[in-house]
């Protein structure tokens, strides 16, 4: 039993540290009027949650750098091109505007802060 104590302690410590890291990052940055909009792609399930008034977030870097952050785009055209180039099925991916500013909240095409989905850009006349 003693030989399992140290590995078990390390596993528990790692799990608690990861949980704390995710909890810290689960509070999104919300900029009231960003000058440079930022967009991302996500599941249609997120559009349903957003329409129901739920808060949906996209994480920035977390888990000690193992997850670099959600992918981000500077324009709708870039997001649409990405979906097309990757061969993603359009009905399985939607484009959303996030609550941040591209110049402040994106580094190398990924989020550097946790942001909240603010609008579904694939619905209606946004295309």
Backbone torsion region of residue 77, taken as left when φ is above 0, otherwise alpha when ψ lies between -120 and 50, otherwise beta: alpha
Residue 46 CB partners (closer than 8 Å, separation 6+): 56, 94, 96, 117
Provide the mean pLDDT of the chain: 86
Q: What is residue 62's predicted lDDT score, i.e. its pLDDT?
A: 75
Q: What is residue 123's predicted lDDT score, i.e. its pLDDT?
A: 63
Backbone torsion region of residue 87, taken as left when φ is above 0, otherwise alpha when ψ lies between -120 and 50, otherwise beta: left
Whole-structure pTM value: 0.79
pLDDT for residue 95 is more than 90: yes
Mean pLDDT of 43-61: 89
């Amino acid at each position: 039993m003693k030989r399992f104590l140290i590995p078990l302690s390390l596993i528990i410590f790692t799990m608690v540290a990861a949980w704390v890291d995710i909890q810290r990052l689960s509070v999104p940055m919300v900029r009231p009027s960003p000058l440079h909009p930022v967009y991302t792609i996500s599941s249609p399930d997120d559009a349903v949650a957003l329409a129901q008034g739920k808060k949906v977030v996209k994480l920035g870097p977390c888990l000690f750098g193992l997850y670099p952050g959600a992918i981000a785009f500077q324009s709708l055209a870039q997001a649409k091109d990405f979906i097309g180039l990757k061969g993603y099925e359009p009905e399985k991916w939607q484009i959303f505007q996030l609550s941040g500013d591209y110049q402040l909240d994106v580094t190398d095409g990924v989020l550097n802060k946790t942001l909240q989905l603010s609008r579904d850009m694939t619905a209606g006349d946004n295309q």
